[in-house]
Amino acid sequence: MLVCGCAAAHAQQSQIERGAYLARVGDCVSCHTEKGGQPFAGGFAVDTGFGTVYGPNLTPDRETGLGNWTNDQFYRALHEGKDDEGKHLYPAFPYVWYTLVTRADADALKAYLDSLPPVHHPNKPPDLAWWMSWRFEVLGWNLLNFDKGEFEPDTSKSAQWNRGAYLVEGLGHCGDCHTAKRFFGGTKSSKHLAGGYTKGGHENGWFAPALTGESHAGLGRWRIEDIVSYLRIGSNARTAVAGPMTEVVSNSTSHLTDADLTAIAVYLKSLPAHEEPPEVEPLGRAAVERGQALFTDNCAACHMHDGNGVTTFFPALAGSSALQARGAATVIRVVLGGARVPARPGQRAYIAMPAFGDKFDDQQVADIVSYVRHGWENHASAVDADAVAKERKGLAEESQ
């Protein structure tokens, strides 16, 4: 009996450790921890573009958390998007992707959450537009946007490819940000992982670039090791993280095994390009001169005059897929607000780029952004002062 008890305890601990790893894969802590709050106790505000919903308490508190939830109810939440009472969850909870999670992984994740210290923290009701606040509407949304079912391996592909697909398309829910969305927030399947805005699919907020094979604005020129490095430390020879992806690297991908990061990279590198480089109007001479002068005085010391940067410290701008993305919101926001690169193992975090929002007016930021999106054979559209003003306002609102 003692041997059996020890074996059972070991199996339980092993399952909890596996669940902790899976929680890292899903970056669960980011959306379920409010600023300054207890981990997983909920309260984080998620701006959907239609209003705000708040990440619920995932600790095992019986009154405000998951303490009374069964494994079956938890699996149903992931698999069907329904709570413990069978009510539809709002799709801000990415069950559209989590439905692929296997039952074994769901049970391990629940075991980990059950092992957390219970925190009594009542969940906040959503603050949505009145016409979006009726939960029965989710049923219609699901009919249009949700295909329920666990991940099914592609037998024509390798085990490594299938592992990468499972992580990217399931708990990793990469497509939730990196896929363009229709008006009501459902993803455009024809644009899968081809880039999209992070805030409810609307053309505001950060722009998550393409993860498909485009050579100009995707991963077409990236090597497997480039992707692994980016996910591991937040930078590589081609770029560095910015915006919400900074937190994803800090809380999630930097903690994954080399085998899983490589599997993710193998899967992403298999995705074909969705589109060819768009036709763009060349910058006029005056615009080039304004942008070049500002870049020389303020940017070239780190990013170099040739746009090649300094590997792993200051990202290259020449050939950057982030700069050439369909949406320019992210690069505008980086110029305005700066960028923070996550700490590497054993090092402290550091600011990779200062904010220029207080130094430059909207037209100056537009000149710099347009210049780098065109310079060194980059191929992307220019931006105007109105686009910069919009992002400046958005950053100010998000910081409140």
Question: Is residue 225 domain-resident?
Answer: yes
In a shared domain, residues 201 and 339 = yes
Residue 131 confidence class, pLDDT cut points 50, 70, 90:
low
The verdict on residue 317 lying in a domain is yes
User: What tens digit of pLDDT does each residue of 177-233 get?
Assistant: 999 887 766 788 888 999 988 765 555 678 999 999 998 889 999 999 999 999 998
Q: What is the pTM of this model?
A: 0.90
Q: How confident is the model at residue 275 (pLDDT cuts 50, 70, 90)?
A: confident
Tokens of 231: 């996910």
Query: Same domain, yes or no, for 116 and 261?
Result: no
Torsion of CA 343, 345, 346, 350, to 10 degrees: -10
* Residues 141 and 167 reside in one and the same domain: no
Listed in sequence order, the DSSP H helices in the chain are 2-26, 28-31, 71-80, 95-98, 103-114, 137-145, 159-169, 175-178, 224-233, 244-251, 258-269, 285-298, 300-303, 329-337, 362-374, 385-398
Query: What's the mean pLDDT in 312-335?
Result: 88
Lowest mean pLDDT segment, chosen from 111-125, 201-215, 233-247:
201-215
Better-predicted residue by pLDDT, 16 or 186: 16
CB distance 261 to 253 below 8 Å = yes
pLDDT bracket for residue 4 (50, 70, 90): low
| Residues 42 and 106 both lie in one domain | yes
Q: Are residues 138 and 45 in the same domain?
A: yes
Choose the final residue of a domain: 99, 121, 145: 145
Same domain flag for 238 and 308: yes
CATH number of the domain enclosing 388:
1.10.760.10
Q: Strand, coil or helix: what is 336?
A: helix
- Of 145, 169, 195, the residue at which a domain comes to its end is 145
Q: What confidence category does residue 47 fall into, taking pLDDT thresholds of 50, 70 and 90?
A: confident
Q: Which domain holds residue 69?
A: 15-145
Tell me, yes or no, whether 35 and 135 share the same domain: yes
Q: Token pair of 389, please?
A: 């003003």
Number of domains composing the chain: 2
DSSP state of 133: -
- Judgement on whether residues 59 and 189 belong to the same structural domain of the protein: no
Whether the predicted pLDDT of 135 surpasses 90: no
4 occurs within a structural domain = no
Question: Is residue 169 in some structural domain?
Answer: yes
